[in-house]
């Protein structure tokens, strides 16, 4: 939700190397980043701080996952991908390669997914990297449950792609 942007970012990991000059710090080993309701799990996280002090993170994992509560709803949105890029300022998350994003029962798979929590807008693009036998062109694949089911069943799902 929007309030996350003003929340402090807390990152845990097995170990951390930081390069203060370039303001880059690299966390490796079951990294967990939390900021308000936003949570990112990854094997490795590189965080860069821009001149205005906003932090940009690039998490990679097999896969890396993220989870965030929707604005004004009791619903959670979660996703996963080989690489997740997170932009603290614009409140946008980008997932790359074999990515999926799930909201309630609805799920969408794609090669690249950009989720803008602020505008509540997501863009999903297919690509050869996500091609599978049944989906040779690697197209985006979305499964949307009927409205009635979505409103009612709101259990946090531990989605496996």
Partner 1 sequence: AETAPDKGTTTIDAMRLEIYMDREMRAFGDAEISKDGQYIKGDRIFVNTINDEIHAVGNVFVKQGNATAEGPELRMKMEDREGEMPEPSFTIGGDGERKGRGNASTIMFEGPTKERLKSVRYTTCEAGVNDWYMHANELEIDHHSETATATNAWIQFKGMPILYTPWIDFPFSNERASGVLLPTFGSTTRSGFELAVPYYLNIAPEMDATITPRYMSKRGTQVQGEFRYLDRSNPHIVNTDRLEYLPNDDMTGRSRYAINLRNTHTFGGGWWGNLQFERVSDDTYFSDMSTRIALTSRVNLPQQVDLHYDKNTLTNDWHFTLMAQQYQTLDKVSYPYQRLPQIALSGFQELGPIDTRLSTEFVRFDKNSAAPISVTGERYTIYPTASLPLLASYGYITPKVGLRYTGYNLNNAGTSYDSKSTAIPTFSLDTGLYFDRTMRVVKNVYTQTLEPRLFYVYIPYENQNRLPIFDTGLSDLNISTLFAENQFVGGDRINDANQVTLALTSRMIDQRTGVQRLSATIGERFYFNDPRVTTCSPANPTAAECSSTNTVHSDFLTAVSAKLLNGWNADAAWQYNTDNSETVRANMGLRYQPEPGKIMNLGYRFTRDRLEQIDVSTEWPLGTNWYGLARFNYSLRNNASTNDKRGPIEALAGLEYNAGCWQARTVVHRLTTATTTANYSIFFQLELTGMSSIGSNPLDLLKRSIPGFTNPDQISNTVE
CB 59 within 8 A of CB 40: yes
Contact between 92 and partner 1 by CB under 8 A: the answer reads no
- Residue whose entry in the numeric block shows the structure tokens 């949307």: 144
How far, rounded to the nearest angstrom, does the alpha carbon of residue 117 sit from its chain's CA centroid? 10
Beta bridge partners of 45: 27, 59
By CB under 8 A, what part of segment 117-136 binds partner 1? 120-126, 134-135
Contact between 143 and partner 1 by CB under 8 A: the answer reads yes
- Quick one: which of 18, 30, 145, 154 contacts partner 1 (CB under 8 A)? 145
- What's the CA gap between 93 and 42, in Å, rounded? 14
- What's the CA gap between 55 and 47, in Å, rounded? 7
Contact between 149 and partner 1 by CB under 8 A: the answer reads yes
Give the x-and-dash track for 94-113 against partner 1 (CB under 8 A): ---------x----x-x---
Residue ranges in contact with partner 1 by CB under 8 A? 103, 108, 110, 120-126, 134-135, 137, 139-146, 148-149
């Amino acid at each position: 939700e929007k309030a996350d942007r003003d929340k402090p970012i807390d990152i845990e990991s097995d170990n951390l190397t930081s390069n203060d000059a370039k303001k880059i710090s690299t966390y490796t080993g079951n990294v967990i980043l939390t900021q308000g309701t936003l949570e990112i799990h990854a094997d490795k996280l590189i965080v860069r701080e821009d001149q205005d002090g906003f932090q940009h993170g690039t998490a990679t994992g097999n896969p890396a996952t993220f989870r965030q509560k929707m604005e004004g709803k009791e619903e959670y949105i979660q996703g996963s991908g080989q690489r997740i890029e997170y932009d603290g300022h614009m409140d946008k998350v980008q997932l790359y390669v074999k990515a999926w994003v799930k909201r309630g029962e609805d799920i969408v798979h794609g090669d690249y997914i950009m989720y803008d929590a602020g505008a509540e807008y997501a863009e999903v693009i297919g690509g050869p990297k996500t091609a599978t036998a049944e989906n040779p062109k690697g197209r985006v694949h979305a499964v949307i449950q009927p409205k009635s089911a979505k409103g009612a069943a709101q259990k946090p799902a531990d989605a496996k792609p």
